[in-house]
Amino acid sequence: MTRPTLILQHVPYERPALLGDILSENDVPWRLDNIVSAISSAVLPPLEELGGIAILGGPMGALDFDIHAGLAVEADLVRRAVDAGVPLLGICLGHQIIATALGATLHSGVAAEFGIGTIEVVADDPVYGPRGTLQPVLNWHGDVVEAPAGATILASTPQTPNQSFRIGDAVFTTQFHLETDRRMLNEWLAVPEMESDLSPDIRSRIEADFDAAEPHMRALADTAFGAFARSVQARG
């Protein structure tokens, strides 16, 4: 039987959404937890009980350990998971937590990428396609992280050179939000802290832009999260 995947959430409105749906469609059990305030890894299940780990987004900085002690617990979990070969997926803040836990530098507030944009694929990849391919994605971030040693950067934008990376077969991350469906976008637009990130121009067109790009983004989510599900299943 496939061991469950632990999905780490940071705020209620950043849910697994498509990630959870696709794991379930692939018969991968998963559990959702929030350890932002934890001070010890004792709150976590043993690694040997997990099939994989996914870390979702959130409004805090990846290195805000003094405000959110659980982020340091997550960073330690990342390092232990990498050493143990546990499949690891990071989205937005999760992408930054994984990178910084492995020694990469975080640059706070240097980008302002919100709404539907385009990434350029910079390395041939089974999720994104051949190098030079352009893909629509949903960005919602101001911080930027470099890639850790040993990582292959897969996608880039001018403001965010590291939009996605892999390390071997076990680690895959995205700065952008492949997990977001229309329902969750609607929830975000009703959260003042989220909506305040958007300029009036982006706010006026984000729903139409999302609807136009959604079929392509859903196909990317199916491919990316389906591959993650298979790596979890392979762990047994």
pLDDT digits (tens, 9 = 90+) for 195-225: 999 999 999 999 999 999 999 999 999 999 9
Provide φ and ψ at 178, rounded to 5°: -75, -20
Where do we find the tokens 């994984």? 98
> ∠ CA 12-8-43 to the nearest 5 degrees?
110
Q: What is the Cα–Cα distance from 10 to 73, expressed in whole angstroms?
A: 13
pLDDT > 90 fraction of the chain, expressed in percent and rounded: 99
How far CA 161 is from CA of 49, 147, 175, 176, 232, in Å, comes to 35, 9, 10, 12, 28
Find all residues with CB under 8 Å of 74, minimum gap 6, and list them: 8, 35, 55, 97, 101
Q: What is the pLDDT of residue 1?
A: 82
Q: What is the pLDDT of residue 200?
A: 97
Instruction: Give the active site residue among 10, 68, 95, 177.
Output: 177
177 is catalytic: yes
Instruction: Describe the crossing of helices 93-101 and 70-84 by its angle, rounded to 10 degrees.
Output: 70
Contact 223, 129 (CB under 8 A): no
92 is catalytic: yes
Structure tokens at 87: 């499949």
Instruction: Give the active site residue among 10, 92, 95, 113.
Output: 92
Q: What is the pLDDT of residue 104?
A: 98
CATH of the domain at 190: 3.40.50.880
pLDDT digits (tens, 9 = 90+) for 157-192: 999 999 999 999 999 999 999 999 999 999 999 999
Q: What is the pLDDT of residue 154?
A: 98
Domain housing 144: 5-235
Give the chain's domain count.
1
Contact 175, 194 (CB under 8 A): no
Contact 4, 46 (CB under 8 A): no
Q: What is the Cα–Cα distance from 107 to 159, expressed in whole angstroms?
A: 11
Q: What is the Cα–Cα distance from 31 to 19, expressed in whole angstroms?
A: 12
Q: pTM for the full model?
A: 0.97
The DSSP output letter for 198 is: S
Residue 135, amino acid: Q
Confidence of residue 32 (pLDDT cuts 50, 70, 90): very high
Q: What is the pLDDT of residue 142?
A: 97
The residue among 231, 207, 140, 132 whose CA lies nearest residue 179 is: 140
Instruction: Give the active site residue among 74, 113, 179, 214.
Output: 179
